[in-house]
Amino acid sequence: MSEIVARLRGALGARVHTDAATLASHRRDSWALAQLHDWLGRGAPTALAVVRPGTVEEVATTLRLCRAARVPVIPFGGGSGVCGAVEARPDAIVLSTRGLEGMVSLDARNLTASFRAGTMGGEAEQRVQKEGLTIGHWPQSVDVSTVGGWVATRAAGQFSTAYGAIEDLALALEVVLPDGSVLRTRETPRASAGPDLRQLFMGSEGTLGVVTEVTFSLRSLPESRRLAAFHFGSLDAGLEAIRRFMRAGWRPPVVRLYDALESQRQFAKQCPDGRSMLILVHEGPASAVAAELAGCAELYTEEGGVAADTSAVEHWLEHRNQVPGFRELNERGLVVDTIEVAATWDRVLPMYHAVVTSLRELPEVVLASAHSSHSYRSGTNLYFTFAARVDDKERMPEIYIECWRRAIRATLASGGGIAHHHGIGRVRSEFLVNEIGDTGVDVLRALKRSLDPDDLLNPGVLVPASDAVRA
C-alpha cells in the first residue's frame, strides 16, 4: 500500500476505497473517446485509491494530506461529464463527492435550498418539488449528475432560456481550496463587493477547488405550462423567428429548433420531411403564459411558421433525458458524439453550414446535424451531432478526434465560441487558447498558480499545456 493511501486511511478510515470495483468505476467520466478506449481495451488506468469524504472537514483533510505528499487529486462527481475532465492516473487519488449527500436546508420563504455537492440533480429537484418549488436546472444528465458537478462544469439546462444557467441559479457556494481552507460565499441576492468569487469555481472543472455545497435560489413551480410547436421551411427561418421573439422580450423556458435532419429523426411522426421543427414550453403565471403563447404564435406565423401538433413537445418532454450507449454504437462500427457551441445571431447560420460541411467532407462521416437549444438576446447555441462509420476499429479514435477538430475549427472560423455548456475537459483543451486568447490563458494560469501552486488538483485539465495546438 502506498504511503499516501496509508496516511489517508489513518485519517479517514473506511472513506478510503482500494477495491477493484470502486477503482474501476472511478477511472473516467462519460467522454465518448474514453468509452471508446475502454472498448478497444486500452482504457484509462485506475487511481491509487478513491476517497469518499462524508464531511467538508474530510474533504479538507484529503486535500491537505495529498498536498503535503505532492499527490494529485482528481475530483469526481456523478461521472456524467462528456468532455474527459475526469481521468484517473496511477499516481493520483480520486476524490468522490458522492459521500456529501442530501439537503442541508430549505427555506420556502426565501426560495433557497442548500444541497451537499454530491447530491444527484434529480434527487435535489424532487426534494424541492415536494414543497411546490423548483431549481429549474434541467441538464439532460439531471439524474446522473451531481449539483456540485453542475457548478464545476458551468452547466446549462434545457429550461435555460427563461431560467438561466447555473451561474443564474446558484446563490452561494462552499468550496474547499487546494490548501484545505474553506470558502463559503454569502447567501445574499446580489453584491458589489469585489469580483464574484463564485465565478472562479463555476467551470473550474475540479482544477481550482472542490465544491462541497451549493445553495440555489429556487422558483415556485409555475402556475401554468403551455406547449407549442411550429414547422419552418428552413433552419434559417426558424432561427430568425427565435431571434425576433427574444428581441421582443418573450422568454419561454424551452426553445428548441432542429434542422431538417434532426426534425425527421426526432419527430418522424410530427414533422414533414425537409422542415425545421421548433418546440416551445411556455411557463409562468397563467395570464402571462397566455399572452406569451399568443404573442409568439403571431410572430412565428409572420415568419412563415406553421402551427404543429404539440404531441412533438410531449414526446420530447418524455424522452428528453434518454442517452444512447456509446458501446452499442461502437460495436456497430460507429463513432458518435455531440458538440455544443454558441455564437451571436449573425454568425449562427454560417457556423451551422461551416461545421456540417466540414464534417461531411470527411468520407467516414455518415451524419452531421444540429439543433439550437439555448437562446439569448444576442445569439444562440448550436448542438451538433456527428456519426462516422469506421470499418477498422483501430482507426476510430483518430476519426473521432478529426471530427472534433473539424467542428471546432469551423466554429472558430465562423466567430463562434467553442463550448456552450459541456466544458473544456480534455476534448477541447487544445483549442482553449483560441477561445480565450493568449492573455486569457495567462490569466487562467495565474489563477491556477495562485490557488494550486503545485498543480495537484485535476492536473492537465482546463489550463492548457505549453504545447497547445492552435486552430
Binding mask 272-301 for a copy of itself (x = CB under 8 A): -----------xxx-xx-xxx-xx------
**Stretch 87-126 residues interacting with a copy of itself (CB under 8 A):** 107, 109-112
Report in angstroms the alpha-carbon separations of 100 from 208, 375, 388. 19, 34, 40
Question: Judged by CB, which is closer to a copy of itself: 161, or 270?
Answer: 161
Question: Judged by CB, which is closer to a copy of itself: 359, or 432?
Answer: 432
* 38-41 LR contacts (CB < 8 Å, sep 24+): 39/327, 39/330, 39/331, 40/393, 40/394, 40/396, 40/397
Least distance from C-beta 273 to a copy of itself, angstroms?
A: 30
Q: Which of 13, 41, 249, 325 binds a copy of itself (CB under 8 A)?
A: 249
Q: Which of 10, 102, 272, 440 binds a copy of itself (CB under 8 A)?
A: 440
**Stretch 2-61 residues interacting with a copy of itself (CB under 8 A):** none
Question: Judged by CB, which is closer to a copy of itself: 261, or 432?
Answer: 432
User: Which positions ≥6 away from 117 have C-beta within 8 Å?
Assistant: 77, 97, 100, 146, 147, 148, 149, 151, 174, 210, 211, 212, 213, 214
Least distance from C-beta 326 to a copy of itself, angstroms?
A: 21
**Stretch 338-397 residues interacting with a copy of itself (CB under 8 A):** 342-346, 374, 376-381
Least distance from C-beta 45 to a copy of itself, angstroms?
A: 26
**Stretch 413-432 residues interacting with a copy of itself (CB under 8 A):** 415-424, 428, 432
Q: Where are the alpha helices (DSSP H) in 85-195?
A: 121-129, 147-152, 160-163, 166-169
Report in angstroms the alpha-carbon separations of 69 from 13, 72, 76, 186. 18, 9, 20, 33
Question: Judged by CB, which is closer to a copy of itself: 34, or 156?
Answer: 156
Least distance from C-beta 336 to a copy of itself, angstroms?
A: 21
Cβ proximity of 260 and 274 under 8 Å: yes
**Stretch 175-234 residues interacting with a copy of itself (CB under 8 A):** 177, 181-197, 199-205, 208, 217-220, 222-223
Looking up cell 426558424 gives: 238
Report in angstroms the alpha-carbon separations of 444 from 177, 204, 431, 433. 16, 10, 14, 10
- How many residues sit in the footprint of a copy of itself (CB under 8 A)? 98
